[in-house]
């Protein structure tokens, strides 16, 4: 078997020649690294680049983040999904200002106490920004190490996670820790890939990889199957009153908390029920017509949406939480989650 020193050397040399050029790799600023790591959770690198640059331009310091209005923060985050990440960023920024005078903690054990920062993110920030000798184990690293050592443990289990962490800790060099951690992650993201056939011939460790040698890359890593998502039918009302559109703010807790949405109902109500719903909120329907269907997938639930275009008339003041807004404001000011992106497209395409 290849020695640990050889693994380190081969990985570092490979990373120097093959690492993707990414904006957050050009800095040691722990705030910028933190922002990028949170954005990269559940989101593709290609999608994050534009958001990251826009975010740090508008909120270049932790003080800016702590003081930004929620609606503007969510607007900056719009399209990335999992908005609780943005909420936790702001909350954590406030804690860093209060407890650390606005200076990011430089130890994993302190970072992991902040909202939204788990073991991986804490390890990534501590090692990349501060070169702390600590692992940063994400799904990519789990896959690389499982295949390299031929582990058949279910990577969703505590036992497997502990075993892989122990292996990575043993591999960590005495310096350039962040670079080594990034090399492992990069190998998993670009070569030892999760979906499809891994690019084993491009891997610097291929000659010693157990899964490659034994042709078990399709079976490793072992991962228990997730539960099927719940399918939830919804009916969305794109309601125009004069030149403005009806939106409402979602509850402060739960899915898509505090974001703006187009009014919608669970299930497939009749036209009469839809008219009654709007009338209860002080809008009389002049016309209603079926528009396009859409689907949005969350981690645990799938919305299957029927959409209706409505022309209405305001009878009296709107209920609290409801708002009429222009198309321009809808696009530029209000944070409408990706679940309703088809609604924005419909509105923007209307003549």
Residues that are catalytic: 37
| 90, 65 Cβ separation under 8 angstroms | yes
Max CA distance (Å), the chain: 78
Task: Report the alpha-carbon distance of residue 342 to residue 351 in Å, rounded.
Answer: 16
Q: What is the rounded CA–CA span in Å between residue 317 and residue 154?
A: 57
Could you tell me which residues come within 8 angstroms of residue 171 by beta carbon, excluding any fewer than 6 positions away? Answer: 4, 7, 8, 180
SS (H, E, C) 292-318: CCEEEECCCEEEEEEEEEEEEEECCCC
Cα-Cα-Cα-Cα torsion 97, 100, 106, 110, nearest 10 degrees, comes to -100
Contacts of 293 by beta carbon, 8 Å cutoff, 6+ apart: 304, 305, 306, 307
């Amino acid at each position: 078997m290849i020695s640990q020193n050889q693994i380190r050397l081969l990985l570092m040399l490979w990373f120097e020649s093959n690492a993707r050029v990414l904006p957050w790799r050009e800095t040691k600023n722990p705030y910028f690294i933190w922002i990028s790591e949170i954005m990269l959770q559940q989101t593709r690198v290609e999608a994050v680049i534009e958001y990251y640059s826009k975010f740090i331009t508008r909120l270049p310091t932790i003080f800016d983040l702590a003081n930004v209005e929620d609606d503007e923060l969510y607007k900056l985050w719009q399209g990335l999904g999992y908005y609780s990440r943005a909420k936790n960023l702001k909350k954590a920024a406030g804690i860093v200002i209060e407890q650390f005078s606005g200076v990011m903690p430089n130890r994993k054990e302190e970072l992991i106490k902040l909202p939204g920062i788990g073991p991986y993110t804490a390890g990534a920030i501590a090692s990349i920004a501060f070169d702390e000798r600590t692992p940063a184990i994400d799904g990519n690293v789990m896959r690389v190490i499982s295949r390299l050592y031929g582990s058949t443990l279910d990577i969703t289990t505590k036992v497997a996670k502990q075993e892989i962490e122990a292996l990575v800790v043993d591999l960590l060099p005495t310096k350039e820790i962040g670079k080594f951690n990034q090399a492992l992650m990069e190998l998993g993201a670009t070569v030892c890939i999760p979906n499809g056939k891994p690019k084993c011939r491009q891997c610097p460790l291929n000659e010693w990889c157990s899964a490659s040698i034994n042709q078990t890359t399709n079976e490793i890593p072992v991962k228990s199957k997730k539960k099927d998502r719940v399918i939830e039918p919804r009916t969305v009302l794109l309601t125009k009153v004069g030149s403005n559109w009806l939106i409402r703010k979602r509850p402060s807790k739960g899915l898509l908390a505090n974001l703006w949405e187009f009014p919608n109902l669970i299930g497939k109500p009749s036209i009469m029920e839809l008219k009654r719903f709007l009338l209860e909120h002080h809008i009389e329907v002049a016309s209603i017509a079926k528009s396009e269907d859409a689907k949005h997938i969350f981690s645990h639930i799938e919305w299957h949406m029927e959409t209706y275009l409505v022309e209405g008339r305001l009878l009296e003041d709107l209920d609290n939480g409801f708002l009429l807004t222009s198309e321009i404001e809808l696009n530029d000011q209000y944070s409408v989650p990706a679940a309703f992106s088809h609604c924005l497209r419909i509105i923007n395409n209307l003549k």
